[in-house]
């Protein structure tokens, strides 16, 4: 028995149980279509905000999986500027953030373009603009020139989790992989994203950044499967939530003799959960849009608009007069007047829970106004 999947006689002719994955693949495809249909019904500005938020999330979370924390405002500013979107709060951006954003946008916005060696070299160079990964100098913009092990643990007592294919066969392996990737095939596009992710991780062609590039490649192939550069969900965010299982399943299937059913099943279920979470978020976005459409003629001051947006976004905790005053920087008397005005307009009501202090919440009546 081969120690690693790439040492198997079947490599890289993967096998899987079609019956086992068809049901979850069908559910993913159905939900993709449903979400894109719902998004298509939204106004342009809401669509743009959703795309900006999801791309920002994808960049942040893909880096966080590798233990790198990027600045939210810098990532959002960089994406907004590159997509030609304007929003208040644009900030100057570090070189390493620009690089990660550049890679992600190249993948998602140019999803129709073929992926070749040079394009991947460009992604890698963008990830490591200084030629350093932490305290270590690495080869950038080219495939690795040395052996690669995935290890953990203290120096001298390292545990080897994976030994990648020898560096002298990486280019040949990548030729085979890219030929398959760019060739039209009968494999479903979502399934292709799952296979490509695993295959690339096994080759581990670069000195560093393989995980982030694998996830960018999945995003590109998912965009192809949808025929759209619009990103309404974040797979990387869901992978981060399930990070422990992500590494466990990769480690398990890397020892297979060629059957990757377990990996495909996990990937598709992870993607399904990402889509379910997006559907929940979308419900809130649609409700918010409906609310403001209903109240487009309602006279409201800036404090009321601020607090209503917070409530529609999912206000944390109970809304009290003191909280209103603190958030809007006004007196308690002004806060109470604002609240009473909204109660008279049928937008807020007093919470039934009672207690020592009065709480307020959105009514359902505004839908009938």
CA–CA separation, 362 and 344 (whole Å): 12
85 alpha carbon, distance to own chain's centre:
19
- For the segment 52-94, what is each residue's pLDDT rounded down to a tens digit? 888 999 999 999 999 999 998 899 899 999 998 876 567 889 9
> Residue 208's pLDDT is what?
95
**pLDDT above 90: percentage of residues in the chain:** 70
161: helix, strand or coil: strand
The candidate with the shortest Cα–Cα distance to 20, out of 253, 277, 260, is: 260
Mean pLDDT of 23-31: 97
Q: How confident is the model at residue 39 (pLDDT cuts 50, 70, 90)?
A: confident
> Residue 45's pLDDT is what?
77
CA–CA separation, 55 and 78 (whole Å): 11
* φ, ψ for residue 136, nearest 5 deg: -115, 130
Rounded to two decimals, the pTM is: 0.82
Contacts 24+ apart (CB under 8 A), 4-7: 4/162, 4/163, 4/202, 4/254, 4/255, 5/202, 5/253, 5/254, 5/255, 5/256, 5/257, 5/258, 5/260, 6/165, 6/173, 6/202, 6/203
Q: What is the SS3 assignment for 43-61?
A: CHHHHHHHHHHHHHHHHHH
- 315-330 burial: b if 16+ Cβ within 10 Å, else e: beeebbbebbbeebeb
Mean pLDDT of 297-313: 90
CA–CA separation, 198 and 250 (whole Å): 8
> Residue 357's pLDDT is what?
74
Residues 6+ apart with CB under 8 A from 319: 307, 311, 359, 360, 361
> Residue 365's pLDDT is what?
63
CA–CA separation, 10 and 161 (whole Å): 22
> Residue 355's pLDDT is what?
58
Q: How confident is the model at residue 354 (pLDDT cuts 50, 70, 90)?
A: low
Give start and end residues of each alpha helix (H) in the chain: 18-40, 44-65, 72-83, 95-109, 117-127, 170-182, 189-203, 210-226, 235-241, 243-253, 261-294, 302-312, 321-328, 332-344
Q: How confident is the model at residue 368 (pLDDT cuts 50, 70, 90)?
A: very low
- For the segment 174-225, what is each residue's pLDDT rounded down to a tens digit? 999 999 999 988 999 999 999 999 999 999 999 999 999 999 999 999 999 9
- For the segment 99-135, what is each residue's pLDDT rounded down to a tens digit? 999 999 999 999 999 999 999 999 999 999 999 998 8
Residue 267 burial (C-beta neighbours within 10 Å; 0-12, 13-18, 19+): buried
- Domains for the chain: give ranges and CATH numbers: 5-287 (1.10.3290.10), 299-368 (1.10.10.10)
Residue 267 has pLDDT above 50, yes or no: yes
For all residues of the chain together, what is the average pLDDT?
91
């Amino acid at each position: 028995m081969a120690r690693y999947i790439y040492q198997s006689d079947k490599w890289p002719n993967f096998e899987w149980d079609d019956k086992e994955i068809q049901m979850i693949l069908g559910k993913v495809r159905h939900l993709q279509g449903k979400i894109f249909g719902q998004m298509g019904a939204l106004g342009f500005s809401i669509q743009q905000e959703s795309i900006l938020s999801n791309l920002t999330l994808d960049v942040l979370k893909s880096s966080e999986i590798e233990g790198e924390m990027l600045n939210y405002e810098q990532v959002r500013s960089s994406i907004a500027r590159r997509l030609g979107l304007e929003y208040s709060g644009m900030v100057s951006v570090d070189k390493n953030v620009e690089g990660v954003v550049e890679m992600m946008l190249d993948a998602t916005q140019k999803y129709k373009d073929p992926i070749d060696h040079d394009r991947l070299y460009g992604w890698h160079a963008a990830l490591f603009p200084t030629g350093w990964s932490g305290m270590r100098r690495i080869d950038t913009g080219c495939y690795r020139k040395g052996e690669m092990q995935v290890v953990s643990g203290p120096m001298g007592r390292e545990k080897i989790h994976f030994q990648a294919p020898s560096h002298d066969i990486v280019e040949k392996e990548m030729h085979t992989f890219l030929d398959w990737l760019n060739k039209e095939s009968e494999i479903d596009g979502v399934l292709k994203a799952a296979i490509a992710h695993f295959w690339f991780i096994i080759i581990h062609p670069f000195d560093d950044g393989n995980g982030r590039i694998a996830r960018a490649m999945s995003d590109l192939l998912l965009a192809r499967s949808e025929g759209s550069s619009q990103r309404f969900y974040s797979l990387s965010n869901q992978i981060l939530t399930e990070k422990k299982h992500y590494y466990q399943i990769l480690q398990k299937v890397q020892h297979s003799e060629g059957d990757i059913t377990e990996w495909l099943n996990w990937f598709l279920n992870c993607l399904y959960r990402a889509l379910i979470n997006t559907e929940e978020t979308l419900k809130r976005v649609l409700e918010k849009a409906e609310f403001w459409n209903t109240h487009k003629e309602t006279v409201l001051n800036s404090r009321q608009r601020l607090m209503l947006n917070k409530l529609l976004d999912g206000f944390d905790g109970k809304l009290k007069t003191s909280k209103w005053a603190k958030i809007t920087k006004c007196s308690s008397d002004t806060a109470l007047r604002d609240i009473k005005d909204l109660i008279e307009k049928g937008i807020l009501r007093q919470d039934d829970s009672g207690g020592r202090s009065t709480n307020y919440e959105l009514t359902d009546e505004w839908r009938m106004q």
